[in-house]
Amino acid sequence: MNAEHSELLKEFTAEEVATLDEIIARHKGTPGGLIPVLEEAQVALGYLPASVQKRVAKGLNLPVSRVYGVVTFYSFFTMTPRGRHTIRVCLGTACYVRGGKALAEAIKKEVGISEGETTEDRRFTFESVRCLGACGLGPVVVINDDVHGRMKPSKLTEVLDLYS
């Protein structure tokens, strides 16, 4: 039990672990409580690594395999930490032909990670999407909720500097 606790404390503060335990306690014994627990835990902690899943399994008296199965089934849940800002580059047809691909390459170079990854300082998570319905503005990059249209690799540094 102690080994598991220290595994958790490597990734989260004592307050965060207490929040997790509070979430588990609130849903304990309710049928179908697993998904709400995971959802709240992800909002509170940002992601659901193995240590969190084990804690949830023990708390809800479920096999950890069941928890892992649910976490991997829903794309909303993530087992790796996410950055403070999410960069989404559009690779839909219109953006793609207007330079989306080159833009994606430039972003990778600029932030130093591949698609689906998060920078070590957890500043950025980089993803690609297929069409945001803003084809007229292509190529489009969306950072958090801000749409940046007619993007060029040369404007990238300037735009990314807006997000610290």
Partner 1 sequence: MALVKLTIDDKQVVVEEGTTILEAAKTIGVKIPSLCACPEINHFPGACRVCMTEVSGQRSLIASCVFPVFEGMIVKTNTERVRMARKMVVELLLANHPAECNYCVRNGSCELQKVAEAVGLKRVRFDIPDFPEKDMIDHSSPSIVRDDRKCINCHRCITVCESVQTVSVLTPSFRGSKVRVVPSFDLPLIESNCIACGQCIMACPVGALYEKDEVEDVWKAIHDPTKHVVVQEAPAIRAALGEEFGLPAGTLVTGKMISALRQLGFDKVFDTNFSADLTIIEEGNELLKRVKEGGKLPMITSCSPGWIKFCEHFYPDLLDHLSTCKSPQQMFGALAKTYYAQTAGIDPKDIVSVSIMPCTAKKFESARPEMNSSGYRDVDIVLTTRELARMIKEAGIDFLNLPEGNYDAPMGEYTGAGTIFGATGGVMEAALRTVYAVVTGENLPSLDITPVRGLEGVKEATVKVGALGEVKVAVAHGLGNARKVMDQIREGKTDYAFIEIMCCPGGCVGGGGEPIPTDNEIRRLRAGALYMDDSQVQNKRQSHENPSITKLYDNFLKEPLGHKSHELLHTHYEQRGEDIPHRA
Our finding on whether 144 is near partner 1 (CB under 8 A) is no
Nearer to partner 1, 58 or 84 (CB): 58
Our finding on whether 136 is near partner 1 (CB under 8 A) is no
Our finding on whether 50 is near partner 1 (CB under 8 A) is yes
Q: Could you say which DSSP state residue 75 is in?
A: T
Q: Which residues is 90 bridged to in the sheet?
A: 129
How many helical (H) and strand (E) elements, i.e. helices and strands, does the chain have? 8, 4
Our finding on whether 63 is near partner 1 (CB under 8 A) is yes
Place of tokens 């084990």: 54
Write each residue from 83 to 112 as x if it is in contact with partner 1 (CB under 8 A), else as -, in one continuous string.
------------------------------
Nearer to partner 1, 53 or 125 (CB): 53
Question: Considering Cα of 107, then 108, then 114, then 117, what sign does the dihedral take?
Answer: negative
The minimum distance between CB 65 and partner 1, in angstroms, equals 4
Nearer to partner 1, 75 or 164 (CB): 75
Helical segments of the chain, H only: 2-11, 14-27, 34-45, 50-60, 64-73, 93-95, 101-111, 156-160
Nearest partner of 163 among 102, 87, 89, judged by Cα:
87
Nearer to partner 1, 29 or 63 (CB): 63
Q: Which residues is 89 bridged to in the sheet?
A: 128, 141
Nearest partner of 147 among 120, 122, 129, judged by Cα:
129
Instruction: Tell me the window of 38-46, 62-70, 86-94, 99-107 that interacts with partner 1 (CB under 8 A).
Output: 62-70
- Residues in contact with partner 1 by CB under 8 A are 3-4, 50, 53-54, 57-58, 63-69, 72-73
